[in-house]
Structure 1
Amino acid sequence: MEVHKPIKRHKALQPLSRQHHFGLLFGWKIRKGFAKNIAPERMMKYASWFYSHEIEPHFNDEEKYLFPILDPSHELIERALKEHRRLKRLFLDTAHPEKSLHRLEEELDAHIRFEERILFNEIQKVATQEQLDKIEEIHSDIEKAPDYEDPFWDE
């Protein structure tokens, strides 16, 4: 098993990293749901809720405030945007819930690890103090989403 040393995250990016933690928990909850034979449609309702309360605002913030720190043609930004589009499609694909959920939990996990280990580190290296201050100001009031009403993973 590959061991990664802890990343020293700039204070301005810590709220986004905390949101990444909730994304990793999403995958864990979906895996628990499958292990407990929870109906995929029931889990997809949670995925839709999670998308609107966590993922969509998070992606919007990254794309509006964080990604512009690097050049739009930077390969890491192109990859992140491509993965955002792919994940959005999976979250919104209710026609094939089981397939979408399996892919979501895998691809969201991989995407978060890419952003945390590679993209955020690159952004931290080149961001000016002014840019980091602006991100910190914008994210100082991030509120935790309300608890989901059907915690199937706890059954």
Structure 2
Amino acid sequence: MDNKPLKRSAYLKSISRDHHHGLLFCWKIREGFKRGVAADRIKQYADWFWRAHLIDHFALEERYIFPVLGDGHELVKRALAEHRRLKRLFEQETEVWRSLSLIEEELDEHIRFEERVLFSELQRVATTPQLAEIAEHHGGAAHAPEWGDEFWKD
């Protein structure tokens, strides 16, 4: 695989920053696992991150990004299926360790897919007005305050 950095459209950079925060979220879960942090602490953080960040992020992608490629596009079908799967995992209240482990793995993979594959295709086919509309709607997104329990540092 080519490890050369991807050139991201200026219109998509703020969404890519969201993806960076998602990758950092995955890293924090991995660190919590390594440090033997109680599952309920990590689950509280995951629930907060889902509500404070991912629900709106997924909605933005589904409303403004995916339609540029079209509902029938294979990359969009995959992304939507992954969104549904991740939603189920975040809402899972039993088998917490297993769900957190799957969230960490699948969200990391999903973000890398969107950044490397889906966004590359989007940049290839989208018009400047379409990209500007995406940026306009994302630019108004409010960001929640940071989570207080830094369990990944224990």
Fold in common (TM above 0.5): yes
- The superposition leaves residues 62-113 of structure 1 with CA deviations (integer Å, 9 ceiling, x where unpaired) of 0001000012111000000000000111111121110001111100000000
Tell me, yes or no, if the aligned pair for 1:91 and 1:100 is still in contact at 8 Å: yes
CA distance in 2, matches of 1:4, 1:116: 13
The Cα shift of 1:154 comes to 1.5
CA distance in 1, matches of 2:106, 2:140: 28
Partner of 1:129: 128
Q: Give structure 2 stretches of 5+ with no counterpart.
A: none
Partner of 1:150: 149
Partner of 2:36: 37
Tell me, yes or no, if the aligned pair for 1:32 and 1:153 is still in contact at 8 Å: yes
- The superposition leaves residues 37-64 of structure 1 with CA deviations (integer Å, 9 ceiling, x where unpaired) of 1111110010000000111110000000
Task: Please say which of residues 76-85 and 124-133 is displaced more in the overlay.
Answer: 124-133
Tell me, yes or no, if the aligned pair for 2:82 and 2:110 is still in contact at 8 Å: yes
CA distance in 2, matches of 1:62, 1:3: 26
CA distance in 2, matches of 1:3, 1:94: 39
Partner of 1:90: 89
CA distance in 2, matches of 1:93, 1:115: 24
Q: Give structure 1 stretches of 5+ with no counterpart.
A: none
CA distance in 1, matches of 2:101, 2:138: 31
Amino acid at match of 2:48: W
Partner of 2:64: 65
User: Matched residue of 1:72: which SS?
Assistant: coil
Tell me, yes or no, if the aligned pair for 2:46 and 2:90 is still in contact at 8 Å: yes
Tell me, yes or no, if the aligned pair for 1:44 and 1:94 is still in contact at 8 Å: no
Partner of 1:25: 24
TM-score norm. by structure 2 comes to 0.96
RMSD between aligned residues = 1.1
Amino acid at match of 1:126: V
CA distance in 2, matches of 1:59, 1:26: 15
Tell me, yes or no, if the aligned pair for 1:15 and 1:142 is still in contact at 8 Å: no
TM-score norm. by structure 1 comes to 0.95
The Cα shift of 1:3 comes to 5.1
Residue identity over aligned pairs, in percent, reads 51
Alignment of 1:107-122 (within 5 A): 107-122=106-121
CA distance in 1, matches of 2:133, 2:6: 22
CA distance in 1, matches of 2:142, 2:14: 10
